[in-house]
Amino acid sequence: MDISIRAVDPTEHHLLGEITAFAYLDDGLLDLGADDPYLERLRDVPRRAAEADVLVAVGADGRVLGGVTYAPPGNPWADISGPDEAEFRMLAVAPEARGLGAGEALVRACIDRARGTDGVARLVLSTQPAMLGAHRIYRRLGFVRTPERDWYPIPGLQLLTYSLTL
Write the DSSP string, 94-162.
-GGGTTTTHHHHHHHHHHHHHHTSTT--EEEEEE-TT-HHHHHHHHHTT-EE-GGG-EEEETTEEEEEE
Mean pLDDT (whole number) for 8-20: 97
Nearest CA to 151 out of 121, 133, 127, 119 is that of 127
Residue 64: strand, helix, or coil: strand
Report the pLDDT value the prediction gives residue 58, as an integer from 0 to 100: 98
Report the pLDDT value the prediction gives residue 135, as an integer from 0 to 100: 95
The Cα 55–Cα 23 span in angstroms is: 16
Size of the chain in residues: 166
Mean pLDDT (whole number) for 2-30: 91
Report the pLDDT value the prediction gives residue 139, as an integer from 0 to 100: 97
Report the pLDDT value the prediction gives residue 28, as an integer from 0 to 100: 72
Report the pLDDT value the prediction gives residue 32, as an integer from 0 to 100: 64
The Cα 111–Cα 145 span in angstroms is: 16
pLDDT tens digits for range 48-85: 999 999 999 999 999 999 999 999 999 999 999 999 99
Report the pLDDT value the prediction gives residue 103, as an integer from 0 to 100: 96
Residue 35 in this model has a pLDDT that exceeds 90: no
Interstrand relation of 53-59 and 157-165 (parallel, antiparallel or unpaired): unpaired
pLDDT tens digits for range 127-156: 999 888 899 999 999 999 999 999 998 888
Report the pLDDT value the prediction gives residue 105, as an integer from 0 to 100: 97
CA 113 to chain centroid: 13
The Cα 146–Cα 2 span in angstroms is: 33
- Percentage with pLDDT > 70 across the chain: 97
Residues 54, 108, 82, CA angle at the centre, nearest 5°?
A: 70
Mean pLDDT (whole number) for 106-113: 98
Residue 37 in this model has a pLDDT that exceeds 90: no
Report the pLDDT value the prediction gives residue 64, as an integer from 0 to 100: 98
